[in-house]
């Protein structure tokens, strides 16, 4: 595995770092306090080419490799995970799915708008009763003349109130289980589509999170992404990309924790010396550095496999599991280094902790990732308990 960055990748990293320090970092605390989704900043991400970086240039993207995309996401994650969520959902879950599964017309219609930030997209998989068991989607898709009628509910949908386009996963044939799932490209202005903001979140307060109701939403045949029955595979391949993006964002949180902690510990004096002099403070920082580096290398490995078009589901799960848990641990330790100062939002570390917390839940809980990794290692599927009579 060649871990050296190319000159182009370094330039992309430096440009993203400067953009994040100039545009994202100064706004992060106020947006978090106000629980305000910054649509203007989301548009700036589009202008920078950060909302579809791996999408082919002919569809409005930048044709970047996954390693470069990961470097951008890491920087945005260091600045503000709410903005990182915009990049991850838009790029990996929405644009990636359309580019991979869409018809030429669907790609030409949606991708340029999404990549530029003119339109936002959301990923409607999760439901009130459908979380880890993604195959159990209850939203129904029924055939009508010339199209489909969708009815059901979606929950915890990032960008669901802001999006112009929703990818909606729906069941066409409950008997067929995951093989009956289909995915639809639904303009959110369609009659019967309604979203509601979810308030009171622990973190990602500046990110838009919605519940969605679909009340007999009618779409034409050309709204179907892929074929009937492709829905589960579309969701899983999208999540392979989305989880990589979440992991990269968490490396950014780890990096932010190290930077903030080193800066604080070398300035803050107690007992007549900077607190960085104390071995126990250094231990906290050293543990963060090790976790950051390990997470970064795991993300890099997953990115390289993606760039080589090799199977990477397990490696992506490993990166996502490790990086998200590392982000929570680093943020918690960073607060410890900051003492009382870390408990208020004068420093970014308390926001890092609140924002990191959801990453071990969404796009597959840590437990789901352990099961994916365990299944790959042992060849035994421990996802669901065996029922009587099953072997």
Q: Which residues sit at the interface with ligand CAA, rule CB under 6 A?
A: 89, 123, 125-126, 132, 134-135, 157-158, 178, 232-233, 236-237, 239-240, 313, 362-364, 368, 372, 383
Biggest CA–CA distance in the chain, Å, is 79
Residue with tokens 């009763």: 129
Please say which residue, 115 or 368, places its beta carbon nearer to ligand CAA. 368
- To ligand CAA, the closest distance from the beta carbon of 328 in angstroms equals 17
**Among 371, 306, 348, residue whose Cα is nearest residue 92:** 306
User: Using CA atoms, how far apart are residues 87 and 53, in angstroms rounded to an integer?
Assistant: 9
Please say which residue, 43 or 135, places its beta carbon nearer to ligand CAA. 135
User: Using CA atoms, how far apart are residues 140 and 381, in angstroms rounded to an integer?
Assistant: 28
- To ligand CAA, the closest distance from the beta carbon of 187 in angstroms equals 18
- Tell me the two tokens of residue 158: 């990032």
Pairing of strands 209-220, 193-197: antiparallel
- To ligand CAA, the closest distance from the beta carbon of 56 in angstroms equals 21
Check if 40 is active-site: no
- E strand or H helix at 136, and its extent? none
State the DSSP code for 127. B
CB atoms within 10 A of CB 270: 11
Please say which residue, 147 or 226, places its beta carbon nearer to ligand CAA. 226
Considering the candidates 75, 255, 315, 363, report the single residue annotated as catalytic.
363
CB atoms within 10 A of CB 250: 36
Residue with tokens 């340029």: 112
- CB-CB contact of 343 with 284 (8 Å): no
Distances (CA, A) of 163 to 113, 121, 124, 154, 269: 12, 5, 11, 14, 48
- Tell me the two tokens of residue 141: 């898709």
Residues noted as catalytic: 363
């Amino acid at each position: 595995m060649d871990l050296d960055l190319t000159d182009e990748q370094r330039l992309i990293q430096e440009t993203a770092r400067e953009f994040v320090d100039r545009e994202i970092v100064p706004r992060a605390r106020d947006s978090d306090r106000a629980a305000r989704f910054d649509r203007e900043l989301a548009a700036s991400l589009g202008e920078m080419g950060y909302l579809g970086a791996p999408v082919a240039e002919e569809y409005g993207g930048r044709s970047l490799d996954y390693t470069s995309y990961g470097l951008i996401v890491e920087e945005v994650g260091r600045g503000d995970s709410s903005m990182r969520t915009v990049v991850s959902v838009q790029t990996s879950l929405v644009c990636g799915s359309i580019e991979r599964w869409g018809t030429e017309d669907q790609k030409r219609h949606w991708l340029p708008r999404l990549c530029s930030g003119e339109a936002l997209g959301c990923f409607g998989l999760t439901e009130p009763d459908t979380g880890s068991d993604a195959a159990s989607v209850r939203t129904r898709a029924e055939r009508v003349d010339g199209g489909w009628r969708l009815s059901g509910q979606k929950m915890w949908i990032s960008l669901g109130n802001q999006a112009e386009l929703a990818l909606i996963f729906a069941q066409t044939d409950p008997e067929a289980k995951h093989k009956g799932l289909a995915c639809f490209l639904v303009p959110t202005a369609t009659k019967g589509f309604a979203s509601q903001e979810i308030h009171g979140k622990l973190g990602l307060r500046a990110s838009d999170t919605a519940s969605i109701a679909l009340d007999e939403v009618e779409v034409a045949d050309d709204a179907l992404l892929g074929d009937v029955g492709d829905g589960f595979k579309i969701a899983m391949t999208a999540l392979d990309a989305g989880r990589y993006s979440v992991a990269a964002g968490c490396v950014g949180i780890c990096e932010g924790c190290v930077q903030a902690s080193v800066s604080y510990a070398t300035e803050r004096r107690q007992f007549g010396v900077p607190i960085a002099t104390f071995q126990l403070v250094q231990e906290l920082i050293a543990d963060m550095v090790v976790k950051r580096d390990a997470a970064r290398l795991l993300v890099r490995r997953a990115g390289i496999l993606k760039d080589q078009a090799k199977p990477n589901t397990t490696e992506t799960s490993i990166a996502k599991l490790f990086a998200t848990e590392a982000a929570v641990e680093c943020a918690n330790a960073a607060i410890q280094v900051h003492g009382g100062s870390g408990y208020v939002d004068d420093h970014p570390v308390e926001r890092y902790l609140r924002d990191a917390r959801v990453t071990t839940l969404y796009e597959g809980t840590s437990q789901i990732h352990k099961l994916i990794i365990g299944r790959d290692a042992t060849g035994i599927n421990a996802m669901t308990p065996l029922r009587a009579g099953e072997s």
